[in-house]
Amino acid sequence: MGSQTGSPGQGTLGEQNKYVAALDPIASVGAVHNGAVLDRELFNTLVFLVQGGATTGTPTTVTVDAKVQHGDLANGSDQADAPAGAFGGVAIVQQVAGAFAVKLETDYRKLKQFTRIVVTTAFTGGSSPTIPVSVSATVGAGERHPAV
């Protein structure tokens, strides 16, 4: 294990963090999109980066909501909305227009083992409007480092 950050036992930044696509890029047409279920077993922090681009179809209004869910089952079947306190009082992020990038940070230890992001898009007006959305996630502050 490397020693490029902090004390020699911490390892490299790549060893301390895991970067994943929590929700693959999609041209949303006004729907609910459940992200991948992430396992926090080896990590203590979580950051989601929710990104959206310019709309097509000239809608009158656009809304993009993002929230975090958590549960005990790896298949995600028991996922429920995460408590607001796990995100410093922000459990749901809402964007209403234009391209955006919003970061959701948390103390992952306040959540159950399995976590996912849920993005909901909605439009009024327009002709078949869409908005590109994606979510990436970084988990870090590993208690133990995964095998490389």
Q: List the chain domain ranges.
A: 35-138
Q: Return the CATH number of the domain spanning residue range 35-138.
A: 2.60.40
Q: Which two tokens stand for residue 43?
A: 């990590």
What is the arithmetic mean of pLDDT over 138-148? 63
The listed range with the strongest mean pLDDT (12-16, 30-34, 135-139) is 30-34
Q: Is a pLDDT exceeding 60 seen at residue 116?
A: yes
* Tens-place pLDDT, residues 3-12: 444 444 556 6
pTM for the whole structure:
0.80
- CA distances to 1, 54, 95, 127, 148 from 34, rounded to whole Å, are 35, 21, 17, 25, 28
Mode of pairing for the β-strands spanning 61-71 and 80-81: antiparallel
Q: What is the dihedral of CA 24, 114, 17, 8, to 10 degrees?
A: -170
Quick check: 99 and 53 in contact, CB under 8 A? yes
Kindly report the length of the chain.
Answer: 148
